[in-house]
Amino acid sequence: MKTIRMFAIIAIASAFGSIGCNKVEGTYRLDKEQMRNETLAKTPQNVEEERSQKVFLAILEDFNARFTLEPGGVATSHITFAETDEGPKTGSWKSEDGFVVIQFTDKAMRCKPNGKNKLSCSSDGSDELNELPLIKTDE
């Protein structure tokens, strides 16, 4: 009887442990590799599109974005571009209808968890959720 009870306790503890591993809290960075691959996968139809693609890829190299979602609903962003550092901004986040909504004073993002370590986000409220792909870091 004690053995069965011990197995039941271990099973319940394991279940709660696995649920905790899927938490959305953590630090995410812009997934530049995914953005680069998606951009290169699109074949430019004319010279203007080819030029735009090259400019976008050059800008992407100098652009860094990091978002931290803390327990309790506090969100922090830190965005840098080339030598410009916007400094950290603080806002809030919440889970809502299967999405993560991140709100800052001047901007809101709607994100869909994509696996255990990615968020697919839209920065303008549109349904194009791969516009801003974020990947969880170990920071």
Rg of the chain on CA atoms, in Å: 19
- The backbone region for 98, taken as left when phi is positive above 0, alpha when psi lies in -120 to 50, beta otherwise, is left
- DSSP collapsed to 3 states, 52-115: HHHHHHHHHHHEEEEEEEECCCEEEEEEEECCEEEEEEEEEEEEECCEEEEECCCCEEEEEECC
Q: Domain limits of the chain? A: 25-136
pLDDT digits (tens, 9 = 90+) for 79-88: 999 888 888 9
Average per-residue pLDDT for the chain: 81
Task: For residue 56, give both structure tokens.
Answer: 């976008």
**Whole-number pLDDT of residue 2:** 37
Q: What is the mean pLDDT of residues 89-109?
A: 92
- Which region among 9-13, 27-31, 74-78 has the lowest average model confidence (pLDDT)? 9-13
Residue 77 Cα distances to 20, 30, 83, angstroms: 23, 11, 17
> Would the pTM of this model clear 0.85, i.e. be above it?
no
Neighbours of 77 (CB within 10 A): 19
Q: What is the dihedral of CA 117, 121, 123, 125, to 10 degrees?
A: -140
pLDDT band at 74 (very low <50, low <70, confident <90, very high): very high
Nearest to 102 by CA among 82, 122, 127, 87: 122
Q: To which H or E segment does residue 2 belong?
A: helix 2-21
Domain boundaries 25-136, corresponding CATH code = 2.40.128
| Mean pLDDT, rounded, for 6-12 | 34
